[in-house]
Amino acid sequence: MRAIFLDRDGVICENRSDHVKAWEEFRFLPGALAGLARLAETDFATIVITNQAIVNRGMVAANVIDGIHARMLTTVRRAGGRIDRVMVCPHRSDEYCACRKPQPGMLLQAAAELGIDLVGSYMIGDAMTDMQAGLAAGCRCIMVMTGRGRTQSARTTSAQGEFRLTHDLQHAVELIRYLEAFGVERLTPIPSSAITRPLALPTLPAHALR
């Protein structure tokens, strides 16, 4: 089994400076539901991995985060998408856990429990911590320009690892479908300035990744 790992804030929903503490504060980013629906057409498992240190900071209870995710999953299903699992790290950075991104613990746990081929999988995130976690686990990585992506991508270098930049989740999913359908093995880094130009991908055959 292969998987698409997704960060939550800045990829699926808006990244709030005061954190998402209730369902009423959860706002799907434009194109996120459409991207998840397209992803559901593939054979990849869809796994959300998210740092939620607000739990151990005492800002919100773990069951509230679980409730937000339950409603997120329901909304995604109604829009034709599918999320197979949500994994949460509740730890603060000063707790030095193995699961908080940029550590790859959540990806490794998913691989061990679900039998996921990490080398054949992808990580989509909006921050360098997402890219570092994905690369440490052996995944191919894509940074979206929503959330923190546009700011953080301007500070990246090829020495920090190989990953691709895309506009948003919907665009990232289409890129993955293209790479898989046309047998492209590697993701060539591109400068952040290139993201201002539309990416034209060849039309996929109707049966691609069905």
pLDDT value at 71 more than 70: yes
pLDDT value at 77 more than 70: yes
Each residue's pLDDT tens digit, 32-46:
999 999 999 999 999
pLDDT value at 58 more than 90: yes
pLDDT value at 125 more than 90: yes
Active site residues: 7, 9
Each residue's pLDDT tens digit, 139-159:
999 999 997 767 776 665 544
Mean pLDDT of 118-130: 96
- Mean pLDDT estimate for the chain: 87
The pLDDT score that the predictor gives to residue 147 is 79
Q: How far is it, in rounded angstroms, from Cα 90 to Cα 56? A: 6
Q: How many CB atoms lie within 10 A of CB 104?
A: 23
Q: How far is it, in rounded angstroms, from Cα 55 to Cα 69? A: 14
What's 21-54 look like in SS3? CCHHHCCECCCHHHHHHHHCCCCCEEEEEEECCC
pLDDT value at 91 more than 60: yes
Q: How far is it, in rounded angstroms, from Cα 13 to Cα 28? A: 4
The pLDDT score that the predictor gives to residue 199 is 40
Kindly report the pTM of this predicted structure.
Answer: 0.85
The pLDDT score that the predictor gives to residue 162 is 82
pLDDT value at 184 more than 60: no
pLDDT value at 173 more than 80: yes
Q: How many CB atoms lie within 10 A of CB 210?
A: 8
92, two tokens:
């603060």
Mean pLDDT of 73-93: 98
DSSP structure string for 41-99: TSS-EEEEEEE-TTTTTTSS-HHHHHHHHHHHHHHHHHTT----EEEEE---GGG--SS
- Residues sharing a CB contact under 8 Å with residue 142, sequence separation 6 or more, in sequence order: 122, 123, 124, 125, 163, 164, 165, 166, 172, 175, 176, 187
Q: Give residue 64's pLDDT band: very low, low, confident or very high (50, 70, 90).
A: very high
